[in-house]
Structures are given as C-alpha cells and as structure tokens.
A = this chain, B = another copy of it.
Amino acid sequence: MLSFMIKVGINGYGTIGRRIAHAVSLQPDMTVIGIVKTKPDYISRIASNTFNIFINDLKNKEDFNNRGIKVKGTLEDLAGDVDIMIDSTPEGVGEKNKQLYDENNIKAIFQGGEKSTVGESSFNAYSNFNESVNKRFVRVVSCNTTGLARTLFPIYNRFGIKHVDATLIRRATDPNDSKKGPINSIEPSLKIPSHHAPDLKTVINGINIDTVAIKVPTTLMHVHVVKAQLKEKASREEVVEEWNKYHRVLRVYGKEGLSSTAQIMDAAREMQSNRSDLYEIALWDESVSLSGDTLSYIQAVHQESDVIPENVDAIRAMFNLEDKEKSIEMTDKSLGIGRRNI
C-alpha cells in the first residue's frame, strides 16, 4: 500500500456496500482497509476471501469464527484506522453512525436512503462534483435520483429546462431478497411528487421537476418515463449528440433485441461485467423524440450498481485528489464504463 492512498472503510456490505468495496479496490489512489458485517452469513464468508472483516459487536465474534470467518476487529477499530468510511448501512442507520465518524475525526459518505441533511452536500459526479470538494460529510443520492441526474444534467446544462415530468416505474426489491413484495400488484407511491423530485434538486440546483413513483413486481431495474420541456430550441440529433459526451449514459436499441430490462441485464452478463452489473443508465434510442419544445425518452436504471462510480468520485472530491473530469475518467476506466458496446 502506497502512503498516499486514501484508506477506506465500508460500513454495511449489502447490495451497495459490496459493490463499492470492489470498485474502490480497483482504484490506484485508494485502498479498502476493511468492511463491517453484522451477520456471519454466506456474504460474510465469501467477502472474507478478499477483505478484512470487522463486526459491530464483539459478542458475535465466536459466531463468525465458527463459520470459518476471521474477525479483524470492531466497527470502532475500523473507524480508527481509515481516512473515510463509506456508510452503506440500511436506510436511517447512517445518520446514527455519524457521531462515531465525527468522534474519530474521519470523513464519511452516506447513501441516498439517508436524509439530505446528513451531509454538507449531496453528490452526483456530472451535475455537482465541485460542491463536495474538501467536504467532510457527503451523501450520494439514490439510484433513481442518480439516473435522473445522469440524463437530465447534460440537457439542463446545454439547452436549459423549464420543467420535467417523470414517472418512475420502480423495481420492488433487489434480486437477492426473497422477503419483500409486492409479487402481484402495482403499488403507487401516493405522495406526489415522490421524494425523487426534491432529491434531484439537491444535485441540480433549481431544476423544476415533478415525479410520480409506482412499484411493480420485478427485481431487475427501474424504468423512467421522462418528459422535459426545454428552454432553448433543440433537435433530436443535438440532444443525442449531447448525451454521447457522457459515458455513464448508454444508448440501447430495441431493434437489437434489447426490448425490456430482461435483455438489458442479459447484455450486462454477456459483457462479463462485475456481478453482471450495469453502471450506466440505459437510454432507449427509439424512445427519444421531440415534440415542440418537449423532449421525451425512456430509460432503465440498474438499482444495484449505478451509484457505484459516484461513490468513488465522491471520495476523490472530498480529498480533492483530482478534478471532476480526471476523476470521472479514472473511475470509468477502472470499471469498464465507455469501453462497453452493449
């Protein structure tokens, strides 16, 4: 380990935490010191082949040892030995952990499930990287908000946006969960706008957006139907040309057989990506159209992985390691973003 490497701890090794651990381990300027797990389950056991395991409560050490999992120490031990903790614990728990990070005088990144007030800033690499430079506590917005920011920021930045209406058709739960539902109903979030609209404003200051969220029985991806009224005149070609400058926006084609989230995730598998993930937002080319000043499009968001590159970039911003463009370039290269050809 080189001395200038940022020492990273991962508290919570669920859907997001395990992917951040992998992504951080690929970076030349940061290293994973350890991960924190609460249970000695199969995830802990597999993780222990790669990472040092820390636990919340020393009382559980024997349970871990009995499963052949060596315990390196406690969450407190890890907090004392890192420069930054990535908190990827369940929704609401991160807020409670903040004091520990504060006491240990380390930085911390929280995930989108936490209230926006947990951080000094909310983060999306494209839309507001610089707002998190040298900050101590930062929150990376959720998978859905990241998906909206990725495709709306290029348009907002280039043409201006008067107003956005977005309908979010959300996956019910993640593929490794067999407890949550619904399995056979469509469940609207009755709060309108859903929390995604105010959340997007934390990373695109001043954007005017309404969102409606509907949960459906699938585990693969979210799908967004977006209508954006532009300020400046734009053609379909100009819009597409703008998106093409951003590698984390990936245009996909129904005419090539990518007609649903099933085939998009299959394409990610075919590309041999880590855990069969898709870091990019998949934007269906055929759905892009302009009617007067209104741009319409449909996109799919891989909820398990789209925020992973953002977490890596947030670390670089918080330690002022690289500027926005260079950080994004390094992250994209390490994760294969932009080299892919789905």
* A residues neighboring B (CB under 8 Å): 18, 39-43, 45-47, 49, 67, 175-178, 184, 252-253, 256-263, 265-267, 269-272, 274-276, 341-342
CB-CB nearest in chain B for A252: B42
Oligomer: number of copies: 2
Pick from B40, B67, B259, B267: contact of A46, CB under 8 Å = B267
Closest CB in chain B relative to A20 CB, distance in Å: 14
Min C-beta distance of A6 to chain B, whole Å: 24
* CA A41 to CA B49, docked complex, whole Å: 38
Q: Which of B43, B47, B184, B256 contacts A67 (CB 8 A)?
A: B256
27 residue pairs of the A-B complex, CB under 8 angstroms, read A18-B270, A39-B257, A42-B252, A42-B253, A42-B257, A42-B263, A42-B267, A43-B257, A43-B267, A45-B341, A46-B341, A49-B341, A67-B256, A175-B265, A175-B266, A177-B262, A178-B259, A178-B260, A178-B261, A178-B262, A184-B184, A269-B275, A269-B276, A272-B274, A272-B275, A275-B276, A276-B276
| Residue of A40, A42, A256 most packed against chain B (CB within 10 A) | A42
Alpha-carbon distance A275/B277, docked complex (angstroms):
10
Residues A342 and B46 in contact in the complex (CB < 8 Å), given A256-B67, A260-B178: yes
Residues from chain B with a CB closer than 8 A to the CB of A258 are: 42
**Contact residue among B46, B257, B341 (Cβ-Cβ distance under 8 Å from A41):** B257
- Write out the residue numbers on chain B whose beta carbons fall within 8 Å of the beta carbon of A272: 274-275
Task: Determine whether the beta carbon of B263 is less than 8 Å from that of A178.
Answer: yes
Q: Most chain-B CB neighbours within 10 Å: which of A46, A177, A258, A259?
A: A46
List of B residues within 8 angstroms of A42 by Cβ: 252-253, 256-258, 263, 267, 270, 342
Give Cα A145–Cα B46 distance, bound, in whole angstroms: 29
A261 to B175, CA, bound (A): 10
A256 and B18 in contact, given A175-B262, A178-B262, A178-B263 (Cβ under 8 angstroms): no
Distance in angstroms between the alpha carbons of A40 and B255 in the assembled complex: 10
A175 to B267, CA, bound (A): 11
In the complex, what distance in Å separates the CA atom of A263 from the CA atom of B39? 15
The 9 closest A-B pairs by CB, nearest first: A176-B266, A41-B257, A178-B260, A178-B262, A46-B270, A276-B276, A42-B256, A269-B275, A42-B267
In the complex the two chains form, what is the Cα distance from A269 to B272 in whole Å? 11
Q: Nearest Cβ distance between residue A176 and chain B, in whole angstroms? A: 3
CA distance A13 to B88 in the complex (A): 39
Shortest Cβ gap from A275 to chain B (Å): 5
